[in-house]
Structure formats: structure tokens, C-alpha cells
Structure 1
Amino acid sequence: MDTATPAASLAPRTSNQQSAAEAIIDALVEEGVKAVFGMTGDTVLPLLDALYGRSTKIRYVTTKFEMSTAAMADGYSRATGEIGCALFHVGPSVSNAVLGTWSAQKDNVPLLILSANLDRFRLGRDIWHEFDVNGVFSRFTKRSDQMIEAKDARRLMRTAMQVAKSGLPGAVHIDFPKDLLPQPVDVETFDLSLRGGAHSDYVSNATRPDAEAVDRALALLQSAKRPIIIAGRGVTWSRASKLVVRLAEALSIPVITTEMGRGSIPEHHPLSGGLVGHFGLSTANSLLTDADVVLGLGCQFRNVNTLNWQLINPDARIIQVEPDPLEIGRQYAVAVGVHADAGLFLKDLLERIAGKGIKRADPAIAQDIARRKKDEKARYYDADLESTPIKPQLITKVLEKIAPRDAIYVVGSGHHTHFANYIQVSEPDQYHWCVGSGTMAWAFPAALGIKLARPDRKVIVPIGDGDFGMNAQEIETSVREKLPVTVVIYNDVSFGALRIFQKMQHAGRYIGSNVGETDWVKLAEAYGANGVRVDRPADLEGALKRAIASDVTTIVDVRIDPWELAHRTPEFKEFHRF
């Protein structure tokens, strides 16, 4: 077809043909994608029409804003481990998805971004809505393609979904010119029985470790006086949390985690030191500083988990296990670098430990961790929890008391994050935060995607008022789509972290950090949700109980003390140079 002029008509279909749009949606069905999140626009109508005919296989969720769309797909992927899919109209629509796409890419979340573009004969003439979508998305994804011929639809989809989940997972993007979507293409059949299910089942990403590297790692751990394990996202990806616990118990090694590794060991376990780093616990930070051998399992050693690379003793020897060889030695020189899947490494290591009859039982290690936790808990709760405004620590205390043990927490970004991270979790899928980007406006829509994937679980969103205000319109989405979550606003009527920095770093010269009052209760009710404001400590437990039990989204507006610092520690001040 001549791409310089519009098509006059479509070629007739034969009995073994379908539209390119139908081929695209069928590729999602073959992959096992169960949900697509999107914003409607005229360029995506052929794709929506194809979805309409497959609504029993794929649920389409209409959102209120494109950043939310990407975040919902991101959350869905984090909860399922499968590809999250989001669909966008041309120009202004897909450009609004950049932040959400980048956040997923930073955290290695397999996300498929589909955008529909204008007809080909219009492109390149600076027309209304035209946007260099591939030029932009190639900067924020593993791969960005555009369909040039309708017959390429399935090939592009299969390639994109394989890339999204291969190696280090991440975001991928495909752009589809609108005039190609109705074009007839041959129907392709793919026998799912050949691979037993979703496309990802026949793409192996797991790398087995070199035997010599495993032996060297074991020798180093045996020689250590104060070894420690840092469990990162690699443990979560390989579903190896039980193996982490087995290793810790076999050799009496403390385990600390990154944000994406939380739940790799139950945080009430005697050998758990908790979350490490800037947003973590002093217990974990001090354990890492004291360690002479550090076993990093897919943790990358980024600045946020090492307090700008200052937590690890310069004399400590590091064993780094990474599925991405380019990450090994990137932040620290390593004694042993292991290019491997964390789960396969742990299996091989545990086999050697069992085969050699190695066992180290040292109750003093668990006793030391318990002492550090007790001291930290005393510091954390060293506040009048009956005072007004409400201390943020009280929210932690109440949620740990009343929330279901398997509740999922989706945490926003801000000063409140420090407080929320004291809530203990026991499983790898109980805690979610976009740690790589640290963006605001992510948590609430991501929680809706997680709720769609986990309808049987209670989903709780600890979030600041500044963060929640950026995507509060998705309350309507939660009500319409019947995705009830509990939103707990740590409300200090400001961008609290910035105001604290201005107090400590700029002599109290406040500008840009204070915001006006919002009646969150009325806003929730306007969208058909529930809302409650809590000003008194005595009212908090009852309000949270009712909210969590509700079958509709409930906004709990907790008026907190705006000057209560989450950390009274040298590490916190050092990170921000107070």
C-alpha cells in the first residue's frame, strides 16, 4: 500500500485471516495475559474492538490518567510475576506513560507498553498529536519497535514479550499505526500444549552457577567470623525465599534485605535483621557494617541500600550473585562473582553443605540480632503515642496489631516511607514500592493492579498526602472496577520530606513545600468510596479495622505530627548531609 496517501479500502478477508488488531490481542491470549489497562482514544479503537470479542479471556480496565495506567500494569506484574500490559492512544496519551514505564524498567518489571499511532501517510509531517514515540521509549525500555507491515503483528508481539522476561526483565514497547490495525493477516495457530502454558514457560532465563564459584563462595562463608546475606530482587524473581532461610539456619547467618527482597525471610525470624539502607532499619545497617563477608543475592548494592556506599566495611569480602554479569563488581570489588540465578546458586550451595555435613549452630548470633532489634524498637517508639497530632509510629503499631498476616502493603514515596517500612512482612509478595525511581503518584494505582491480581488478599496503601493527591482520581477506577483497597494517608498537609529538609538544611526558609487542605473524606464519597478522618489516637484502631474490613475502597485520613522524624540516627543525617 502507498504510505503517502490514505488507503481507500481494505482487502477482503479470507476464512483463515483476521485483522492485525485481532492478531495482536490473540498474541496476548497465547501469552496468558489476563488483564490490559488502558486509556481510550480513536487510534486504539481497532484494538479495543478486538478485545471486546475476547473479553472472557482478557479483562480491560479503563483508567483515569496514563501514569496510573502504566502503574496499574506494573503492580499487576509485580503481584503475578507475569507480563503487565498497558494500552495507549497517540501523542499526549502515550507521553504521559513515560514515568510509569521508566519506574517499571528501573525495578526490572516485565511491562508491555502498546501504543497506537496515526495513519502512516500522516507521519513525519508534524501533524496534530505527532510524537517521536520510538525515539522517546527507546530511552526508557529494553526495546521499542514500530509495526511497518500488518503481517509483522504477531512476530513483534512474541519478540517483545520474550525480551520483557528474558535476562534482566524490563519494559518493552510496540507502536502500531492505526491504518495497519484493520488490515487482514493470516491466522497463526500456536499449540499451547507444546510449551505447557504461557509463552514465558518455554523461555529459560535461569543461569546455573559455575561449580568452582560455588566452592569458593562456600569456603569464604566458612572462613567468615561475621558473615551476612543480603537478599535482593534476585531471590524474589527465582522464588528462592525458602532456600535463603535454609542457608541462614544451616550456617547461622543473619539475613537483611533490599526493598525488592523483603519477605525473602520472615521478618520475625530470629536471623532476620530487616530492611537495609536509607529507608531501612538501624539493625540491618549495623549488621552490614559489622560483617566481614557479604553474600549479595541479586541486590546490586545501590546507594539507597548502602547509604551512599558507606555501610559495607572496606575490608569486607563480597560474594555477588547476579543474573546480569554486567552488575557483578559494578559498585564494589568482589572476592567471588557468580553469574547465576539466585535460586540455582542456593540449591547448589546447599547441596554442598549437606554433602559435606557442614553445620554451624551459634545461638549468640540470634541473641545479638534480638538485642539490636529491641534497642531500635525502643528508639522508634520513644514518642508519646497518645499525643495529638498523631505520631506516625502509632500507625505502624496499629497495623501490625490488626491487619491480616498476609496483607499486601503498597507503599508511597516520601518521609512516611520510613515509618511504613517498620511494618513487618513474612512473604516475598507482601511489600511493594517503586524503589528504583522512588516516584510519587505510583503507589495507589499500582495497588489497584495488585488487587486485581490478588482479589483474595487485603491491600493496604500507606501514602503521603502529597503523593496521593497526584493520582487520587483513580478512586473512581477502584469503585467502578470493584478493586477495594485501604488507603492510609500520613497527612501533614505538605510535602513533608522537603519541609524537613528546608528546616534542617536551609534554616527554615519554607517555599514550595506547604500545600492547602484537602477534604479527603468528601473527595472519597464523591467518587463512591468511603472516607474517614482521624485526629485522635484513640480513634485510629477502630477506623483502620473498619476500613480494612470494607468491600469498597476506604480513605483513612490520619492527621500526623509533621515534625516527627522517622530516624533519629547518624545514618539518616549522613545520607541527606544534615
Structure 2
Amino acid sequence: MTTESSRTQTVRLTVSQAIVRFLSQQYTLRDGVEHRVVEGFFGIFGHGNVAGIGQALLQAELDDPATMPYYLARNEQGAVHAAAGFAKQRNRLSTLAVTTSVGPGATNMITGAALATVNRIPVLLFPADTFATRAPDPVLQQLERNESQDVTVNDAFRPVSAFFDRVWRAEQLPLSLLNAMRVLTDPAQTGAVTIALPEDVQAEAHDWPVEFFAKRVWTVARTRADRDALQSAASIIAAAKRPFIIAGGGVQYSEANAVLAELSERWGIPVGQTHAGKGTLPDGHPMDVGGVGSTGTIAADELASTADLVIGIGTRYSDFTTSSKALFQRDDVRFLNLNVAGLDAIKLAGHAVTGDARESLTELGELLGAHTTDEAYRAEIAERRAAWEATRSAAIAAEAPGDLPAQIGLLSILNEELADEDVIVNAAGSAPGDLHRLWQPRSAKQYHVEYGFSTMGYEIAGALGVKMAAPERQVVALVGDGSYLMLSQEIVTAVAEHIKLVIVLIDNQGFASIGNLSESVGSQRFGTKYRYRNVDTSRLDGGVLPVDLAANIRSLGANVIEADGLDEFRAAVRAALEAEETTAVYVRSDPAAPGVDGGWWWDVPVAEVSDIESTAAAREQYEIDRVAQRPHL
């Protein structure tokens, strides 16, 4: 209903109905192309949101299902992961919103919010909150505190959100939503945007100015860097003898891949890639030396360790990338950081160039003209690339088809069987390390590994979001048994929505990655194996648990192909890719099998004193290793 007021035309809607109508009219604009900011809602309804956001989404669906599609999630954390996967695939130009009920429904999203903010991925969260009126008090699932009446469980979102607000009154909503859009569409500030909605406020009616619901376009700015900073950067690059580029996720989101490929080859500068940046150069590019850092290749890490200039482009320099600041070994090494976010541009005391990656690289290319490194350095890069490829090939060839396979053999088959535009999705455990070293991406978006927050359980939910964002691509969720058992419920969502995923479940009978790490720090794989408790020793070192993960997947509605060994695994992967419905490939692997050489040190402190011989030996080695750390101030 629309009415005339003394100042402007208004429409009477509930707060929730206003949110849905407002979001349906928000767009991003970059390079002349518009995208919906929010393309739909994930949610699970409870008493906190069923009569508010739930009713508003129903009303929108009955009016026009395309206005704001709703997808029933099975786990609130999984819903946020799916939204993050969607937004990452769309280069942060579009995302999904998530609505939950009050209390545990809300707090279940906190891990997902942290993942999004850590990785600079925009997601929009609407956790329900307790009554603003406080008429019923305490309500079901309300947190009561002795010292305050205005703190709820949703305050836990504050440190893990890029923007947080709580709408106590309807009049506060316009400013809150406008600021939410500001942060969602800001490449330097984006992350989880959380607006807590008291359940009574969600259902309240208000007279809203009609202009609030007009189409609004938010420009995703390609911020130009300061000219003086660029000229200084060009001089720094020109003076370097052994420069090395680290390409991070910012290269991908800026769509600067082609510019980087052209300039790195022209300049003769090798490019190592972070997890978020892997794929910025396609496999076979002469300057691509693979992953860099603790999970990097021998080629990349040796070149990085001897570099006199490290050029970080769109990277936040996580400890895996810098090998806990032990990777860059030259005393005279300098850092040049090109980043849209000032927070990242100043890291390692580098020369900061704050601006869009694509535009800044283009301008640097113009300033440097025909500059190039010398032939000896180019020859060394080629030699190291060839040596690494020989190491990689030898490690994969060592896999025997009849043995319980090592993970590297399985990943090699996946790499061969996926088409150029297909996507591999992974997150935690040992797989990210092997993928970072071994995977040979043939397109920019083929490699999708969440390794900023290293969240177990991201894989299947994240793959769901990726597939929703790119329905034309095959999307493969690679997940270990430990991660699968933490969060696999979004298989049901995929089945319900007829969204075809390929799930590769590797059964390690425990936590393979942490098992290896535990052994390296002298903790003897304690607490990392899935075993019965031994009645004789009272320790978790009994027999193997009779958990049938393949049957579990079937019970969730997906097809399952069980594979034994490499040959059967390859056939199963091919069948799963050809299938029309969500299909899982279940395979057992040897978690103790050797991987492939590569990677640098990673700082995991070891107990300084111990009665255990293995721990004492690990501490001795730790003291030796950490001498390599540098402050880079």
C-alpha cells in the first residue's frame, strides 16, 4: 500500500519486508557491468526469524520467485560458507545473505563470519536477536548477564565482522543497510557484514520513503595508486637484480591475471602464488614457479629466499606465505607491496602502493617500459622450473596402482581429469599443502582453496556456493574424513536444489595433516587417529572404528562410487563427472605415505621442556629452525 505524506511518498512494510525489497534493488558496477549485490538468501527458520525475514521472503517468492530466491540450508555455518564460496567465485561482485534464528542459530554463523572476514570475502548476515521491547524477558535462548542488559550473544559477531550493527528501531534500518552495502562493495574493507535483528523489530510495520527502494548502483572502484608511489615503485623494480613476485587473491579479484602474465614475462620476474592467488598464471607460463611459502614448491621458495626484492601483489602475507618470516633470507631484501588495502600494503615494512591491482600494474608497466632482468636470471628461473617439474613427476610416478594410494596420486588424477574450467574446492588438512605444490591450474578459477582460516567443513558447503555462482562448471569438493564428519549436511541442500556436485571423500581414518604435524613436533600423532578406546590401556589406540562414510553419504541423498586404488579412482572420477546428479567418490588412502619435497619452515612452537624423547628432539630442531626468522622492520 502506498500513501502520500506531507513530504514524500511512503509505503508501509515490516522491517523484514523492507530489507528484502531494498536488497532486491542493490547492484554493483565495475568495468561497465552491473551485478546484483545480493542474489538470494540462505536460511534456517526458528522463532526468531520465521515471522520476520521468513514471512518477507515468502511474500517476495509469491510475488516473483526471482525477486529474492530462498535456499533452505541444513547448517548455519555451512550456509555462510556457501555464501563465501559464491562471492569468491564471483570475484566479490555479488554475494548471498544468510538469515538465522536467535541464539544458537545465530552463533552457529560465527565461524563462517570469521572465515569471510579473514579472507576479505563479502557475506551479508542477519542473525535474529532478542526482543527490543524486553517485554518477554528472558526469552528462549537469551543470554542473561549480571552487568549489562544490552549485550546478547550476537555481540560475539563484532570482532569477526567487517561491519556490525543492531537495529533496535525501524528508523535505524536505512542507515544500517546503506552502510552494509558500503562495506560489502568496498574491496579494501569487505568481509562479513552482520546486522542483528531483534525478533519483534523484524515484524514491526513502518512507513518507508518510496525512494529508499529505488535502484541503487554501487561502484566497485578501481582505485588508482598515487603517482609518486608508483614512480618510486618503478625505480625500486628497475634497481633490483633478483626480484620475485608474490601473487595473492587481490590479483584474482581485480581480474589482473592477464596484465600480470604479460608484465612478468616482459620483465623476467618469477611469480610465486599464495593459495588465494594460485591460478593467476596458467600452468606452463614461463614465469610461473608455483605455490610459495610453507606449502610452496622448491623452485618458488629457493627463488624467494634469494630475492633482493619481493613484490607482493594483492597478498596479506600470511605466515604460510612468508614461512613465518623465515623465507626471505637476504639481509638486503626489500619489499614492494601493491594492495588495495592499506593494512596489507605496509606489511613487512614494504614500500606501499595502495590501489587496484590491475590498474596499478598497468601503470607500472608503462613507467618501466622495456625493463627486464638479465639473461642469467631468466635462465636460472627456467632451470628451477624444470627441476621442480622433474621432482613433481617423479613423486607422482612412484605411486603404484595396486597399493593403498597416497594423496598425491589421487590429486594428480583429479588434476588430469578435470577440464580447464572445472573447479576444485578444498580447505583444511593435508590436501591444501599437496594441492598448493602439485596442482597445475589451467584457468584462473580452477583452484579454490580456503586457507586463510583453514576451516574444516568448508569444502562441501563452499562447493555448493561455487556451483550456484557458476552452474556451467563442474565443481569438485575434495574433503577428508575428518572435515567431512564436521560439516557435510549441505549435501542435502544440493540434492534438494538439483545442484550437481562431485564430492571426493578421502578416508584417512583420522586427521592426516595434524597427525603429520604432531609427529614433527614430537607428539607422536596423539589424538589424531579415529580409533576405539583400548580397554587395556585406556588410550585411543584400539581398533579402527566401523564408520561407513560411503553409506552416510548415500543416506543424505547422493550417489556414491567406491574406489579401491588409483585405477578404480580414475574410473570413478570420470563416472562422477559424467553423472547428472550429485555423486561422491569414496576412496581410502595411506595418511602416512610420503608426499613430494617442497615447502619451507612453519613456526609451530614445541614444548620447551618434556620427559618425552621425541618432544625433546623436536624442540632441539625447532631452536635451530627459528634462527632463520627475520623481523623485516
TM-score normalized by the length of structure 2: 0.83
Q: Corresponding residue for 1:402?
A: 417
Partner residue of 2:337 out of 320, 324, 332: 320
Q: 1:568 to 1:263 in 2, by over 3 A?
A: closer
Contact map agreement 1:70 1:100 (CA 8 A) in 2: yes
- How far apart, CA to CA, are the structure 1 residues paired with 2:601 and 2:216? 45
Partner residue of 1:247 out of 263, 275, 281: 263
Partner residue of 2:56 out of 40, 50, 53: 50
Partner residue of 1:69 out of 70, 74, 79: 79
Q: Corresponding residue for 1:174?
A: 195
Q: Corresponding residue for 1:4?
A: none
Q: Corresponding residue for 1:526?
A: 555
Q: Corresponding residue for 1:553?
A: 582
Contact map agreement 1:417 1:463 (CA 8 A) in 2: no
Partner residue of 1:535 out of 564, 579, 587: 564
- How far apart, CA to CA, are the structure 2 residues paired with 1:569 and 1:56? 49
Shift, 1:570, TM fit: 7.2
- How far apart, CA to CA, are the structure 1 residues paired with 2:525 and 2:470? 45
549-558 or 124-133, which deviates more: 124-133
Q: Which amino acid aligns with 1:311?
A: L
Q: Which amino acid aligns with 1:214?
A: L
Contact map agreement 1:447 1:461 (CA 8 A) in 2: yes
TM-score normalized by the length of structure 1: 0.90
Shift, 1:139, TM fit: 1.4
Query: Which secondary structure state, in structure 2, belongs to the residue aligned with residue 36 of structure 1?
Result: strand
Quick check: 1:97 aligned with 2:115?
A: no
- How far apart, CA to CA, are the structure 1 residues paired with 2:180 and 2:525? 49
- How far apart, CA to CA, are the structure 1 residues paired with 2:439 and 2:579? 21
After superposition, the C-alpha distances for 1:316-352 in whole angstroms (9 at most, x for unaligned) are: 121111222233333x232x22122222211211222
Q: Which amino acid aligns with 2:507?
A: N
Partner residue of 1:154 out of 174, 181, 185: 174
Partner residue of 1:37 out of 35, 42, 45: 42
Structure 1 alignment gaps of length 5 or more: 1-12
Contact map agreement 1:415 1:566 (CA 8 A) in 2: no
Query: Which secondary structure state, in structure 2, belongs to the residue aligned with residue 388 of structure 1?
Result: coil
- How far apart, CA to CA, are the structure 1 residues paired with 2:402 and 2:57? 54
Shift, 1:509, TM fit: 6.1
Q: Corresponding residue for 1:226?
A: 242
Quick check: 1:140 aligned with 2:160?
A: yes
Q: Which amino acid aligns with 2:493?
A: T
Query: Which secondary structure state, in structure 2, belongs to the residue aligned with residue 18 of structure 1?
Result: strand
Q: 1:379 to 1:220 in 2, by over 3 A?
A: farther
Contact map agreement 1:36 1:86 (CA 8 A) in 2: yes
- How far apart, CA to CA, are the structure 2 residues paired with 1:114 and 1:217? 43
515-524 or 537-546, which deviates more: 515-524
Query: Which secondary structure state, in structure 2, belongs to the residue aligned with residue 309 of structure 1?
Result: coil
- How far apart, CA to CA, are the structure 2 residues paired with 1:470 and 1:570? 28
Partner residue of 1:440 out of 456, 460, 466: 456
Shift, 1:512, TM fit: 4.7
Q: Corresponding residue for 1:5?
A: none
Q: 1:557 to 1:123 in 2, by over 3 A?
A: farther
Q: 1:569 to 1:403 in 2, by over 3 A?
A: closer
Quick check: 1:21 aligned with 2:16?
A: yes
- How far apart, CA to CA, are the structure 1 residues paired with 2:525 and 2:492? 38
After superposition, the C-alpha distances for 1:538-560 in whole angstroms (9 at most, x for unaligned) are: 21111000111212111111111
Q: 1:511 to 1:133 in 2, by over 3 A?
A: closer
Contact map agreement 1:321 1:337 (CA 8 A) in 2: yes
278-287 or 257-266, which deviates more: 278-287
Alpha-carbon RMSD: 2.5
- How far apart, CA to CA, are the structure 1 residues paired with 2:136 and 2:113? 25
- How far apart, CA to CA, are the structure 1 residues paired with 2:596 and 2:381? 24
Q: Which amino acid aligns with 1:157?
A: L
- How far apart, CA to CA, are the structure 2 residues paired with 1:181 and 1:443? 33
Q: Corresponding residue for 2:207?
A: 186
Structure 2 alignment gaps of length 5 or more: 27-35, 144-151, 532-544, 607-617, 619-633
Q: 1:93 to 1:192 in 2, by over 3 A?
A: closer
Q: Which amino acid aligns with 1:346?
A: L
- How far apart, CA to CA, are the structure 1 residues paired with 2:493 and 2:167? 31
Q: 1:192 to 1:263 in 2, by over 3 A?
A: farther
Q: Corresponding residue for 1:78?
A: 88
Q: Corresponding residue for 1:116?
A: 128
Q: 1:459 to 1:329 in 2, by over 3 A?
A: same
In the TM superposition, 1:210-225 aligns within 5 A as 210-225=226-241
Contact map agreement 2:296 2:598 (CA 8 A) in 1: no
The total of aligned residue pairs comes to: 558
Query: Which secondary structure state, in structure 1, belongs to the residue aligned with residue 218 of structure 2?
Result: helix
Shift, 1:253, TM fit: 1.1
Q: Corresponding residue for 1:487?
A: 503
- How far apart, CA to CA, are the structure 2 residues paired with 1:379 and 1:198? 56
Shift, 1:59, TM fit: 1.6
- How far apart, CA to CA, are the structure 1 residues paired with 2:574 and 2:456? 26
- How far apart, CA to CA, are the structure 2 residues paired with 1:448 and 1:87? 17
Query: Which secondary structure state, in structure 1, belongs to the residue aligned with residue 413 of structure 2?
Result: helix
- How far apart, CA to CA, are the structure 2 residues paired with 1:382 and 1:575? 32
In the TM superposition, 1:286-365 aligns within 5 A as 286-313=302-329, 314-330=331-347, 332-334=348-350, 336-354=351-369, 357-358=370-371, 362=375, 364-365=379-380
- How far apart, CA to CA, are the structure 1 residues paired with 2:491 and 2:340? 38
- How far apart, CA to CA, are the structure 1 residues paired with 2:212 and 2:373? 50
Q: Which amino acid aligns with 2:570?
A: E
- How far apart, CA to CA, are the structure 1 residues paired with 2:216 and 2:393? 49
Contact map agreement 2:259 2:358 (CA 8 A) in 1: yes
Q: 1:218 to 1:67 in 2, by over 3 A?
A: same
Shift, 1:573, TM fit: 7.6
Contact map agreement 2:256 2:358 (CA 8 A) in 1: yes
